[in-house]
Structure 1
Amino acid sequence: MSDTALPPAALPDAAALPDAAAEAQRQDYHYRVISRALHEIDAARAEAAAGGHRRELPLTDLAARLGFSPAHFQRVFSAWVGVSPKRYQQYLSLDLARELLAERLPLEEVAASAGLSGPSRLHDLFLRWEAMTPGEFAAGGGGLTIRWGRFPSPFGEALAFATARGLCGLAFTAETGFEAAFADMAARWPGATLREEADAIRPWVEAALGGRGEAALTLIGAPFQIKVWEALLAIPSGEVTTYSEIAARIGNPAAVRAVGTAVGRNPISYLIPCHRALCKSGGLGGYHWGLPVKRAMLAREAARREAGIAPALLCLAQK
């Protein structure tokens, strides 16, 4: 058993907590288990490679390394995904990104069918978004009041920020810590007034993270960044693309490095799905809030897509 194993007792007694606090504790626990499982799977793979062979980590062995029974780990994974998956390790494997990349459709086809999972299905999540003008972006948030709050998510604690027009920031603190994540986000709008008012933005955040309802986004960035983020919005849950495909999509195929920089500066993580952008080789590339978070996002989306419960998404630009 690892020194950092998470025994079942780490799950708090939900009955002793208010509903919101219990949900936050539950989601944080689930993410910590998944993050630890990713680490253990990678460690086992490295050990096998060092011995000159390749061996997948069986469920019983993984559960033992975490200090769980196999049944408990399966319950946690199923609760985190929202459905009992067929093959848990397929989604947690480091090879998932390459497999998704090999199966992907051309970005043009993905964009044409984004959010449509069947002829009779209604959209689960409706995102309407608008971009601030270059002048507003240049002002560094001057004159803006940005409300923010801390929220539970399937990927640990999320920090959400919103103007009166929509969500303008979403960050994840599990790998960086709250203080670093908050300072990073606040520095993006140095002229803005920040107010902690979670209840004021809760409906947008819960719709966005829950994949159901309606949320508004405010894109605050340079014109080139906005074009890249628009391209990301066309990639549905469970699909991936490459930085070079995004560059071609926006009509600037030579700008792969600049695209990568713009992807990394995306302020509304997960909703503008920069985690779905991969290297052409199938490597994960980077992720501003930590690669374990990116891997967890891809794993959860792949499992939910295969189960047929990935949210259908409609994005509408407001001009």
Structure 2
Amino acid sequence: MQTTKAMNATETHPTYQQIARSIEFLTENFRQQPSLAEVADRANLSEYHFQRLFSDWAGVSPKKFLQYLTLAFAKERLRRGLTLAEVADGAGLSSTGRLHDLFVVLEGMTPGQFKQGGGGVTIQYAVFESPFGPYLLGAIGDKICKLEFLDEAEATDQARMTARFATDWSDARLIRDADSLRPLAHQIFTRTARQPLRIAVKASPFQLKVWEALLRIPEGQVVSYDQIAAAIGMPSASRAVGTAIGSNPVGYLIPCHRVIRKTGLFGNYRWGATRKVALLGWEAACREH
């Protein structure tokens, strides 16, 4: 289980870039089982400081985390993963084994509810820190409409962030307001008791179906694109499912990172392959402890 400090989204996590470099190295070289010294060198840290830093972030040692990155581990997770029925309707999942489907309520916005460009809608947004680097959070009232991970340069580029919203919400009123959003941000990466988080997304019925299926994947578990397609009753639509997953506007809370290839390879991620590996390994570590 992560410490409260490691999970607090409102605190800074300046070490993520060092962690990310080491995860990249582990991902590329796990077959060679690199030593602690080799991995620490990639993070430009001594073995002692790297071991402590990594363990504070992941909750497990680098050696244990390396286990979660192996192809065999991923395949084993797929084999003993959810049945199609469980992905489809959540049957048989214990309340303690689920995080997101208990605390996230997904609401779809249709053009009939809001104008296509968001006319009359006010969106508050700000950048916060997480265990996976900075992220852009946007909300309509108390409903989250955007959670997008950023690189370091993007996190300080006001014009670029505003442009991200303008793509989907060209007529919305955009207000940067970190103070108002901070209580909401505080709930996202914490495991303490909290109120359900509400998500409001502009989506087609098909996208909503796919994203609702993602919410039923427990933390630390993975499914394949084919399994999601079959679970929503469209077994031949795995390519369309992949497109819907890739267009997810709310990272982490709608856990598109939990879908991997049926071969056991983690595959791509719209916010970076390394971040996907970090999310999966981090959740696996939480589940194992």
Q: Is TM-score (shorter-chain normalized) higher than 0.5?
A: yes
My pick for the range that moved more, 184-193 or 140-149, is: 184-193
**What do the CA deviations read for 1:92-133 (whole angstroms, capped 9, x no partner)?**
456654443233232423522446237xx9999632332223
Percent identical = 45
Q: Write the mapping of 1:161-200 to structure 2, written as runs, cut at 5 A.
A: 161-174=138-151, 177-178=154-155, 179=157, 183-200=163-180
Q: Which residue of 1 aligns with 2:272?
A: 290
My pick for the range that moved more, 93-102 or 252-261, is: 93-102
**Matched residue type, 1:216:** R
My pick for the range that moved more, 87-96 or 233-242, is: 87-96
SS at match of 2:262: coil
Distance in 2 between residues matched to 1:124 and 1:232, nearest whole Å = 9
SS at match of 1:28: coil
Distance in 1 between residues matched to 2:249 and 2:99, nearest whole Å = 28
Q: Which residue of 2 aligns with 1:273?
A: 255
Cα distance, 1:185 vs. partner? 4.1
1:59 aligns with one of 36, 48, 58: 36
**Matched residue type, 2:18:** V
Cα distance, 1:146 vs. partner? 0.6
TM norm structure 2: 0.84
1:112/1:287 CA distance change after superposition, 3 Å: same
TM norm structure 1: 0.76
Q: Which residue of 1 aligns with 2:3?
A: none
What do you get for the CA RMSD once the two structures are aligned?
2.9
**Matched residue type, 2:81:** R
1:251/1:153 CA distance change after superposition, 3 Å: same
Aligned residue pairs, count = 275
1:260 aligns with one of 224, 242, 256: 242
1:136 aligns with one of 108, 113, 118: 113
Larger Rg: 1
Q: Which residue of 1 aligns with 2:136?
A: 159
Q: Which residue of 2 aligns with 1:317?
A: none
Distance in 2 between residues matched to 1:126 and 1:108, nearest whole Å = 21
For the pair 1:77 / 2:54, whether they are aligned, the reply is yes
For the pair 1:299 / 2:281, whether they are aligned, the reply is yes
2:81 aligns with one of 100, 104, 126: 104
The answer to whether the 8 A contact 2:65-2:281 is kept is no
Distance in 1 between residues matched to 2:101 and 2:86, nearest whole Å = 21
Q: Which residue of 1 aligns with 2:5?
A: none
Cα distance, 1:278 vs. partner? 1.2
1:207 aligns with one of 165, 172, 187: 187
Q: Which residue of 1 aligns with 2:19?
A: 34
The answer to whether the 8 A contact 2:125-2:174 is kept is yes
Q: Unaligned regions of 5+ residues in structure 1, if any?
A: 1-18, 46-53, 308-319
Q: Which residue of 1 aligns with 2:4?
A: none
Cα distance, 1:143 vs. partner? 1.6
Q: Which residue of 2 aligns with 1:127?
A: 104
Cα distance, 1:152 vs. partner? 0.7
SS at match of 1:294: helix
The answer to whether the 8 A contact 1:137-1:220 is kept is no
**Matched residue type, 2:96:** S
1:117 aligns with one of 96, 103, 112: 96
1:186/1:280 CA distance change after superposition, 3 Å: farther
RCO higher in 1 or 2 (8 Å CA, sep ≥ 6)?
2
Q: Which residue of 1 aligns with 2:226?
A: 244
Distance in 2 between residues matched to 1:143 and 1:137, nearest whole Å = 8
Q: Unaligned regions of 5+ residues in structure 2, if any?
A: 1-7
1:174/1:197 CA distance change after superposition, 3 Å: same
Cα distance, 1:222 vs. partner? 1.4
Q: Which residue of 2 aligns with 1:4?
A: none
